[in-house]
Amino acid sequence: MLAMMNPLLALVFAAVAATASAASPDPAKLRLASANVLVLDADAGEPIYAKAADEVTPIASLTKLMTAMVVLDGGQSLDDTLEVSLNDIDFLKGSSSRLRLGTQLPRREMLRLALMSSENRAASAVARYYPGGTDAFVNAMNFKAASLGMTRSRFADPTGLSPSNVSTANDLAKLVKAAADYPLIREYSTTPSAFVEVDPAGRMVGFNNSNRLVASHNWEIQLQKTGYIREAGRCLVMLANIASKPVVIVLLDSVGKYTRLGDAERVKRWLETGEGMPEALKRAVAGSSPRGVAAKRSSAGVRGTLPARSLVKVRSN
């Protein structure tokens, strides 16, 4: 009888060990190029992987998640018409935009473009139309950050173009979880693409999401935001369902156009299998040669899901 039980016990112990391994993948097997990283179990609030997660660094357009929360907290009508003015032009970084001077759009459309396509003029406009103007809006951003316990974060503008907008991976995980409580932020940040009527003559312009992973059938992304300025490197935050649980991923200061996406894929594979990513698969995920991935902080345009003639170039996303 004992002899018959031993194989059964061995199977049970093997199953338990496998479950434990899947639940707690080995951090040594995860190699990421991003300088600051946090992978967080969103339900438990426990870190699964961390790398320089308390280091303060510029966050570029990740800022726009905070911008969106302050807009929605303000309670102004999303149907109000806002107009792009000279004050919304980026004279700091010279980023491009498809929203011309005088473009009039509802506040909800400006908010969608800020989150989906990282439109800087849209983000600037929603802040400028806030009661008290942009200065009051930035004060509200910092007040909101303090209320969320983001003690190492500071905001200087609503777009993220200023390198004075800084945070940490740990603080940004708090921002992602808070932003996920807003259905519109979840919806707008994960919309793959949209056409927008930008003038009374009915001219339509196509806008794409700055994160191509939202269009991938391999991902279940609930919320996301990308960011880029030279001082911040390529940045990405996401809330996604991976291995049947919600996970917050924060990737900061990546070099190369595709590195943050490659790091996201590596995190996903590691959580699902407990293994790192084979070299051949790394190149396939990046969509570029190793030399291309290593290119230093390129300012190339964003790839998206609309036809090439409709692509929106976003240099600081």
pLDDT digits (tens, 9 = 90+) for 250-272: 999 998 888 999 999 999 999 99
In a domain, 284, yes or no: yes
Encode 185-216: b = buried (16+ Cβ within 10 Å), e = exposed.
bbebbbbbbbebebeeeeeebbbbbbbbbbbe
CA–CA distance, 296 with 233 (Å, rounded to integer): 9
The pLDDT value given to residue 277: 66
Nearest to 152 by CA among 137, 142, 160: 142
The whole domain housing 276 covers 28-86+101-300
Query: Which among 34, 95, 97, 118 is annotated as catalytic?
Result: 118
Asked if the structure places residue 8 within a domain, the reply is: no
Q: How many residues belong to the chain?
A: 317
Work out how many domains the chain is built from and give that number.
1
pLDDT of residue 293: 36
CATH of the domain at 118: 3.40.710.10
Q: Which residue has the higher pLDDT, 281 or 246?
A: 246
In a domain, residue 117? The reply is: yes
144 included as an active-site residue: no
Amino acid at 163: P
Q: Which of 172, 137, 176 is nearest to 157 (CA)?
A: 137
Compute the average pLDDT of residues 206-235: 96
- Alpha-carbon span 228 to 129, nearest angstrom: 25
Verify whether residue 153 is a known catalytic residue.
no
On whether the CB atoms of residues 124 and 92 are closer than 8 A, the answer is no
pLDDT at position 300 is 33
29 catalytic? Reply is: no
In a domain, 249, yes or no: yes
C-alpha 16/C-alpha 14 separation (Å) is: 5
- What band does 278 get if pLDDT is binned at 50, 70 and 90? low
Per-residue pLDDT, 113: 97
The active-site residue out of 34, 61, 117, 153 is 61
Query: What's the whole-number mean pLDDT along residues 101-118?
Result: 97
Q: Which residues of 97-136 are buried (b: 16+ CB within 10 A; e: fewer)?
A: bbbeeebebebbbbbbbbbbbbbbbbbbbbbbbbeeebee
Catalytic residue among 51, 64, 225, 257: 64
